[in-house]
Amino acid sequence: MVLRAAESDEDGVRPAQSRAAALFPSNLHTEPPCVSKRVFRRPCNARLPAPNRVCKRVRMVLRAAESDEDGVRPAQSRAAALFPSNLHTEPPCVSKRVFRRPCNARLPAPNRVCKGVRMVLRPRNRMKTSGCLHRTATVRERTFLPASRTERTPLRSNLFYRPIFHQIFHFHLAHPAVSVIPGGRLVSSIITGRRNGTEGKKHGMSKAAYVGLGVSATLIMLGGAACSKAPRVAPGASVASATMPRAGTVDERFQSYNIEMVEVTGGRFWKPYGKQVDAILKAQSSARQSGSNQPAGMSPDLYQYRPPIDLSKPRLRKLAAALGPAYVRVSGTWANTTYFQNSDRPPPKSPPTGFNGVLTRRQWKGVVDFAHAVNAEIVTSFAISPGTRDARGVWTPKQARQLLAYTKSIGGGIAAAEYMNEPTFPAMGGAPKGYDAAAYVRDFAVFRPFIKRAAPDMLILGPGSVGEGISLAPKSMNLLKSEDLLKATGPGAFDAFSYHSYGAVSKRCAAMGAAATTSPDAALSEAWLSRAGHIEAFYAGLRDQFDPGKPIWVTETADAACGGDPWASTFLDSFRYLDQLGSLAKRGVQVNIHNTLASSDYGLLDENTLAPRPNYWAALLWRKFMGTTVLDAGASPAPLHLYAHCLRGQPGGVALLAINTDRKTAQSLEIPTEADRYTLTAPSAQSLEDTRVQLNGTDLKLGAGDVLPQLLGVATPSGHVTFAPASITFLAIPEANNPSCR
């Protein structure tokens, strides 16, 4: 036998497949040789009469030979060394020194037929299957064994040098320089067998065996340093997927997205980060250009003009449709001051007095057509700037009436709307000077009855507040308290209670104070990830006090206000994105609308190329697995955050989301039922600030013709599951048989 030439893999170790080729070359189309009793027995039925000497083929389930999340090459890849996929004969029966006999090797001759064995990964233990003893081959926290139902059974060791081989075996798992085969023994590439045509000695150890043992002992010493580099694994808890109680439900369109009104109309939006923005932030100016369509109180240099978004682009529609059904919210700060031109004439060169932007019929029809194409329903808000008011300064519904009527005329509809965007910051939103709670209540008294007549099926959302629950804005800013707004409007004013959730302001708005900002170092901290919960708790308290029982909608959210932080477009923010979805769903929030779909740093898609960012892939997996029924997964053993829903499209099935926020230590969990595993990680564990993301070790990216990749899981048996440091895992458990999911 001759080893094939092979290049060393990334850790300098020759791949197991090339070592295995020494035993059974993949181009050998005859039965593999019977090997010395020291290594292998003869083939299972080699002693049967010729007519009965038939062995069934063994089917090996092999997966990509890439390192798994804890840096260990999967056992399947090394298993391929023993039974090449193109070898169409029965693998040999192996000696008790390596394997036990095949399951039915001791049956009467007519029944002595080797059954096919499907090799899968299972938790490390000693097992019994069909009355036959097997020692499993440990691969850190995983093992090789037949894919049948098993039970534990004691098994005596027949290695007289068990202690040293135990160490050698575990060294091999980190550095597979020697082959490990099912049976839990270590076989050096120089272990005795047939050498030069003569069989190795039957008793005692040959010279080659002593050499192999010496080499193995050396490897033990070398392995100490290598193993120390592996991530630590924290002891885990367990989940009972079959008995998780129902915690509530969410809207079918729970995960949704926002398109800023200024994207639709074109205008000045947040300038991308770069040297220019860095220089501007150093010389921050609060000057405001008169008449420009940008929020008051912010430096105009932080914005740049963007042309209107083309909502008809095939890539944009294809990617948005994959997240459907959803709500598409077309609103934002700029919507407060946007004039709807209810004619097909070209838009004016400058907006009418009292407005800062113009929305044309053609642009709004593009929104309606987009919503139809991607299975989305429209959510919006209305203009409230001085141009919408009468001589007394009271809001009038003229603009809102025209927009609603035109929407209906082109076959569209508005599912829900807020009176205005973020009334808690009226000056920044373009409201009249001195706008207060009394003015809001006066205007809302006009708005509500108008909507009930003009669009009775539309939900009225409110108040749509922001900036409360955590310290987000300096006291010098004119913040209207939601409590004052709710007191004045009274109970029953809103069909659903809405608010906006930002855990911080981005570095663009650092002038608001250091307490309002965050950093990438804090992105996986409990303090940061809990902010969404603190904000929800604040507004849920107001809902319970003033409008009990009303559903809660988060109508705008992202990592940070003011366009997002630089790392919002990277995998680092996906932890917050999914943790927020999981935690808010468990708290009873019905809808969560991310800002934005394809603009600025917090967009799910790159605004120039429309290429998916990590948060898009996170959103796609959420949509694929997490159904509308929310389950109680129990207390999360921090730093592992656990969330569970009924598995979408699978009665009785459960979807478990496990987020390991520890950057250095792997976490573990016991699951009672086999599952399919989908793990998101950064391409490099050293840098989570990467705009790329991997699913089970493979880069996620669009294919030819913008085809979305298949999201393929890894079959994971019941028992011990390990989650790599800084990883996000969905476990789809279709056979959970949870009664709450039927």
| Tens digits of residue pLDDT in 51-92 | 444 433 333 333 333 334 444 334 343 333 333 333 333 333
pLDDT of residue 173 exceeding 50: no
The number of C-alpha atoms within 13 Å of 213 and in the hemisphere containing its C-beta is: 15
Tokens matching residue 25: 């070359």
* Closest listed residue to residue 280, CA positions, set 436, 104, 447, 510: 510
pLDDT of residue 141 exceeding 60: no
- The crossing angle, in degrees rounded to 10, of helices 437-454 and 398-409 is 30
Amino acid of residue 405: A
Residue 313 CA to residue 308 CA, distance in Å, equals 12
Amino acid of residue 688: L
Tokens matching residue 324: 């459907």
Residue 97: Cβ within 10 Å count: 17
Q: What is the mean pLDDT of residues 420-435?
A: 95
694-695 and 675-681 as β-strands: parallel, antiparallel, unpaired? antiparallel
pLDDT of residue 156 exceeding 70: no
| Mean pLDDT score across all residues of the chain | 77
**pLDDT band for position 667 (cuts 50, 70, 90):** very high
pLDDT of residue 331 exceeding 70: yes
pLDDT of residue 112 exceeding 90: no
Which range (33-47, 281-295, 548-562) has the least confidence? 33-47
- The length of the chain in residues reads 742
pTM value is 0.71
For a pLDDT cut of 90, what percent of the chain falls above it? 61
pLDDT of residue 1: 33
| Residue 666 φ/ψ, nearest 5 degrees | -70, 150
pLDDT in tens, 348-369: 999 999 999 999 999 999 999 9
CA distances from 538 to 273, 549, 617 (A): 32, 15, 30
Residue 513: Cβ within 10 Å count: 15
pLDDT in tens, 214-251: 544 444 444 544 444 556 677 678 999 999 999 999 99
Q: What is the mean pLDDT of residues 196-207?
A: 42
Q: Report yes or no: 452 and 415 within 8 Å, Cβ to Cβ.
A: no
